[in-house]
Structure 1
Amino acid sequence: MAELLIGGERTAAKSGEEIPVVNPANEETLESVPKAGPEDVDAAVAAAKAAFEEWSRTDADERASLMREGIARIKGEQKELARLLVQENGKPFAEAMGEISHFLHGMSYYADLASKIQGSYTELPSALGRSYGMVIKRPVGVCAAITPFNFPLTLLGTKIGPALAAGNTVVAKPAETTPLATLRVAQLMQEAGLPAGVLNVVTGGAEAGEALAGHPGVRRVAFTGSTGVGRRIMELAGPQFKRVTVELGGSDPVIICPDADVESAVRGVTIGRFFNAGQACLAAKRVYVFEEVYDQFMESLLKRVARYELGDGLEKAEKPKVRMGPMHTDRYRQQISDQLQDAVDKGAKVACGGGFPDGRGYFFEPTVVEDAPHGSRLATEEVFGPVLPVWRVSGMDEAIRLANDSPYGLGSSIWTQNVKWVHRAAQEIEAGMTWVNQLHYGYDELPFGGVKQSGIGREHGQEAIEYYVESKAVVVGGLD
C-alpha cells in the first residue's frame, strides 16, 4: 500500500482506512492508498507550518537549486512515472510522457523565477519628516494544492512550482483515483533534498479536501476541478479570507472561418477534443464552422476521427491508427452518454461513434455530432469526454453570439488569416484565453484561467507568483 507523506515521513491514515486505485483500462485494482481524514490533514498542515519558518527564510537561489535537484530526479524516472500515470489515469503512454514534460518545464520555469520576485521603492512626501517607502514581497504561508484526476502532474506543477519558488510550504491533495504519481513525485523531490515538511501529500476524498480547504492553518488554496466543487471550496475558504484561485470547467468554442487552413484546423480540433479521451477542461468542445467550408471540414474531420483506436495506454498503436485510452470511471462515461442521448432525443445526428465497445474498461467511442440544439446538454453543460458537437454558422456575428452562449469561459480559438476577425475574437469572446490558428494549450509562460463559471484567478506565468506572495508596505523614516 502507498502511504501519505507528512513531515518527511511516510504514514498510514489515522483511521486505518484505504481507497483502491483502479486501472480504468481493465477495471483491476492497482494498489490502495490511505483514506486521509481531518486528523491527517491537521498533521500535514502542522508539518507544513513548522517547515515554513525555515523555508521562507531560505535564500531564493538555494530554493531554486533544491527545486532543480528535484526536477532532475523526476526527469530520471519519467518513463516509470509515465507508466504509473497510464495505469491510474488511463491515458496513452505518449500522452503521459507529454504530461511529465509539461510538468518539468513548468517547474523549471518557476525555479528560474525564484530569484526574480521584485518589490519596489518610492520617495515619500516630507510632511512627517524625510522618509522613503518600499514594497516587499513575503510568502503567504501554508498553501493547499488540490488537483483533479485528468492531469495529475501538470496541474500539481502549476501549484507547487510558484508556491515553493516564493518560499511557501504546501499540502497537496490529489484526486482520490489518481494519487500514485503525485506521491512518487513528492517522494523524489524529498529524496533530492527538499526539506521535510515543505511538500506534504494527503490522499483521500471529499472529506480530506474539505478539511484542507477550510483549515485555519492554510492561507492559500489553489484548486482545479469541477465548477460545483469549486463553489464549495470558495464557501469553505471565504470566511477565513484565504487567498483562493479556482480553475474550473470549460466548454471552449472554436470558430472555423472560410479562409482557414481547414486541414490544420481539423488536426487542431481533433487533438484538442480527443486528447486524454476528451477529459480536459481546456479543450475544443463546441465547433462553429462557416457554411462555406462546413462540408469540407466535416469530411476531413470524420476521416481523421476514424483513425482513432481504443485500447490500453501501455499498448502501442500501429500507424495510421491513433491510440485513445478509456474514460477514467464508469460514472463519467455514463454522464457523457446521457448528455449525448439528450441531444439525440432533441434532434441531433450522430455522425460517428457514440457507443460503448464490448469488453472490460471504461471505453467510449470518439464521437462527432451534428445539428444538436443549442439548448441541449451538449451545448449548455461541460462535456468531459470524447464527444464533439459541430454547428454550421452563417457569419462571424452568429459564431461569436453562440460562442458566448455558455455559462463557461475558459478557452476559445479562431482559425483564420483575417486580422479583423482575429481582433473581434480576441476582444469579444468571453473567455480567459483565445488561440489563433493553434491548438488549445496552456503555456507556462502565459496566465491561465477563466471567466464566468470557469473560475477566478490565474495560474501560469509571472502572474501566478502574485497569488503566492503578500505585498507589504514598509516606511523608513528618521532620515533627517
Structure 2
Amino acid sequence: MVSIAEPPCYNHIINGQDTPPKENAYIDVICPATGKIIALTADGDARDVDLAVEAASTAFKNKDWRFMAPEQRSKLLYQLGNTVLANAQELAQLEVEASGGTIKRVMGLDMLAIADLFFTLAESIKDYPFIENLAPKLLPEQVNTMVVREAVGVCGVITAWNFPLLLLAWKIAPALAAGNTVVVKASELTPTSTYRVIELFNTLLPPGVLNLVSGTGVKVGDALVRHPKVNKISFTGSTRTGKQIQTAAAETLKRVTLELGGKGAAIVMPDANLELVAHGALFGIMMNAGQACESASRLIVHEDIHDELVAKMTEAAEKIAVGNPFDPNTGMGPIISEQQFNKIIAYIDSAREQGAKIVCGGERRHVAGCENGYFVAPTIITECRNDMTHACEEIFGPVLSVLKYRDIDAAIDTANDSVYGLSAGIWTEDVVEAQAIARRLEAGSVWINDWHMMRTDAPFGGMKQSGYGREMSELSLHSYTEIKAISTAFERDPRKKSTYQLVHSF
C-alpha cells in the first residue's frame, strides 16, 4: 500500500530556533494553481508574538549588533544578498507553489531584485550620515553638536501574499542595515518561502535579530502592532487594514510605514507608439495576474487613437499564456484564492451592470492539469467612466479599465480623481512634455513609456490613501532610524557662560 506523504509543517522562528506555536494549531496552505494543500503553517497568537518580541528586544541590547561598524554591516548585507542567489531555485519553487507567481517572473526578476536591494544598501550604509557634525556657532557659546541617526529598535514587519520574498526584502533589508531587530509576520497564505529565507539568514545573524511569527492578522498582526516593546511597524496590504494599523499603533505612538492599495492610471497621448503601449499597458496590469498594488489598472486614452489601441491590446491579450505557474512558457498564473477570484468576477459583473463593455476576457480560464486553480482570463473593459465601481476601486486582478479623453487637462484630472496615489504613467513620443505632465500627477511613482520601473536605488511608496513612507533606496533607511542631537560644551568656567548669567549672579 502506497502511503500519502503528509504536507510539511512550518513553525515560527524565534531567537534563531524553530519554535512550535503555543496553541499547537496550524493553518492549511493552499496552492492556488491546483487547490491542493501543500503545507501547514503555524497559527500563532499573542503569546508567540510576545516570545518573539522579547527575543528581538534582548538582541537589540547587544552592542555588537546595534553599533556594528558600517563596513562590517555592509559585508553582512552582501552575505545576505548572496545567500538569496545561492538558494534562488529552492526559494522560487516554494514561492511559486504558494503564491501562484510564475517561475519565469520569480526567477527572472524577484530573486535578482532581492539580492540587488541588499547589495544597494550594503553600499549605501558606507556613506550614510549616521553621524553628522554641525558647523560651530558663536552663540550662546562654541559647542560641538553631532546629529546621530540610530536604530529605532524592535521593528514589526507585516508582509503581503502577492510578492512574499520581494516585499519581505523591502522591509528587512533597511531594518537590518540600520541596526534594528525584527519580528516578521508572514502571510498565512504564502509563508513557506519566507520561513526558508529567514531560516537561512539566521545562520548569519545573531540570535533574536530576525524572528518570524506566522498566523492571521487578527491574532498575530494585531498583537504585533499593539505590543509595547515594538517601536515601529512596516505594513504592506490593503488600505482598509492600513487604517486599522495606524489607529492601533497610535496607542503606543509607534512609527509606521504603510504601503497600501492603488489604482494606477496611465495616460496615452495621441502620438504614442501604439505597438509599445499595447504590450506595455498589458504588462502593467497582467503581471502577476494584476495582483500588484502599483498595477496599471486604468488606461486613459485619447479619443483619436482609442479604437485602434483597444484592437491591438485585445489581440495581444488573447495571446497571453495563462497556465501552470511552473511552466516557463506561462505569462500569467492563477489568482491567490477562491475568495479573491470571486471578488474579481464580481467587479467584472458590476462593470457589465453599469454599462461598460467587456471586449475580451471576463471569465474563468480553465487550465489543463490545474482544473481546480483560480484562473481569470486577461480582461479589457471599455466604455468606462471614472465613477464606475470597477474603474475607481482596487480590483487586484487582471482587469484593465479603458477611459477616453479629449484634452490633456481632462486626462490629468481623471488620473488624479482617485483616493489612491501609488503609481501613474504617460505613454508618448514627447518625453519633454511627459516630464511636465509627470509633475502634475499625484502618485509616488510616475513611469514614462513603461510600467513597473522600480529600481533598488530609487524610492517607492504612495501618496493619499496609498500610504506613506518610502521603501528601497538609501531613503528607506530614514524610516528605520531615530534622530538624536548630542552636544558637548567646552567652557569649564561657569562665570564665562553667558546663559548662566540669565539665572545666576557672579
TM interval, short-chain normalised: over 0.9
* Conserved? CA contact 2:155–2:233, under 8 Å: yes
Could you tell me the TM-score, scaled by structure 2's length?
0.91
Please point out which of 248, 269, 288 is paired with 2:300.
Answer: 288
1:355-374 equivalence runs, <5 A:
355-358=363-366, 359-374=371-386
Q: What is the distance in 2 between the residues matched to 1:378 and 1:442? A: 26
Q: CA deviation at 1:420?
A: 5.8
Q: Secondary structure at the match of 1:309?
A: coil
1:100-139 equivalence runs, <5 A:
100-118=111-129, 119-139=131-151
Residues 420/62 of structure 1: CA separation in 2 closer, same or farther (3 Å cut):
closer
Matched, 1:240 2:248: no
Matched, 1:7 2:15: yes
- Residue 175 (structure 1) aligns with: 187
Q: CA deviation at 1:409?
A: 0.7
Kindly report structure 1 stretches of 4+ aligned residues shifted beyond 4 Å.
none
| Structure 1 unaligned blocks of 5 or more | none
Q: Secondary structure at the match of 1:401?
A: helix
- Residue 28 (structure 1) aligns with: 36
Matched to 2:154, the amino acid is V
* Conserved? CA contact 1:64–1:111, under 8 Å: yes
Matched, 1:68 2:73: no
Q: CA deviation at 1:236?
A: 1.1
- Residue 194 (structure 1) aligns with: 205
Q: Residue by residue, what CA displacement relative to the aligned partner does 1:425-469 show, whole Å, maximum 9, x if unpaired?
A: 222111111111121232221111111110111111221111111
Which sits farther off after the overlay, 454-463 or 249-258?
454-463
- Residue 346 (structure 2) aligns with: 338
1:296-375 equivalence runs, <5 A:
296-317=308-329, 322-358=330-366, 359-375=371-387
- Residue 149 (structure 1) aligns with: 161
- How high is the sequence identity, in percent, across the aligned residues? 36
Q: CA deviation at 1:124?
A: 4.3
- Residue 96 (structure 2) aligns with: 86
Q: What is the distance in 1 between the residues matched to 2:268 and 2:38? A: 43
- Residue 46 (structure 2) aligns with: 38
- Rg bigger for which structure? 2
Q: CA deviation at 1:274?
A: 0.5
Q: Secondary structure at the match of 2:79?
A: helix
Q: CA deviation at 1:293?
A: 1.6
- Residue 59 (structure 1) aligns with: 69
Please point out which of 249, 262, 266 is paired with 2:261.
Answer: 249
| Structure 2 unaligned blocks of 5 or more | 1-8, 493-506
* Conserved? CA contact 1:37–1:211, under 8 Å: yes
* Conserved? CA contact 1:149–1:175, under 8 Å: yes
Q: What is the distance in 2 between the residues matched to 1:298 and 1:397? A: 22
Q: Secondary structure at the match of 2:301?
A: strand
Matched to 2:210, the amino acid is L
Matched to 1:234, the amino acid is Q
Q: Secondary structure at the match of 1:323?
A: coil
- Residue 417 (structure 1) aligns with: 429
Q: CA deviation at 1:159?
A: 0.5
Matched, 1:433 2:445: yes
Q: CA deviation at 1:289?
A: 0.8
- Residue 496 (structure 2) aligns with: none
Residues 135/82 of structure 1: CA separation in 2 closer, same or farther (3 Å cut):
same
Q: Residue by residue, what CA displacement relative to the aligned partner does 1:326-380 show, whole Å, maximum 9, x if unpaired?
A: 1000111111111111111011111001111343111111101111232211112
- Residue 411 (structure 2) aligns with: 399
Q: What is the distance in 1 between the residues matched to 2:61 and 2:151? A: 11
Residues 323/433 of structure 1: CA separation in 2 closer, same or farther (3 Å cut):
closer
Matched to 2:132, the amino acid is S
Q: Residue by residue, what CA displacement relative to the aligned partner does 1:107-133 show, whole Å, maximum 9, x if unpaired?
A: 211122233221322234444433121
Matched to 1:103, the amino acid is I
Q: CA deviation at 1:404?
A: 1.1
Matched, 1:95 2:105: yes
Q: What is the distance in 2 between the residues matched to 1:140 and 1:13? A: 28
Q: What is the distance in 2 between the residues matched to 1:58 and 1:225? A: 32
Q: Secondary structure at the match of 1:233?
A: helix
- Residue 273 (structure 1) aligns with: 285
Which sits farther off after the overlay, 428-437 or 141-150?
428-437
Q: What is the distance in 2 between the residues matched to 1:2 and 1:479? A: 61
* Conserved? CA contact 1:254–1:284, under 8 Å: yes
Matched to 2:67, the amino acid is R
Q: What is the distance in 2 between the residues matched to 1:402 and 1:92? A: 33
Q: What is the distance in 1 between the residues matched to 2:478 and 2:365? A: 47
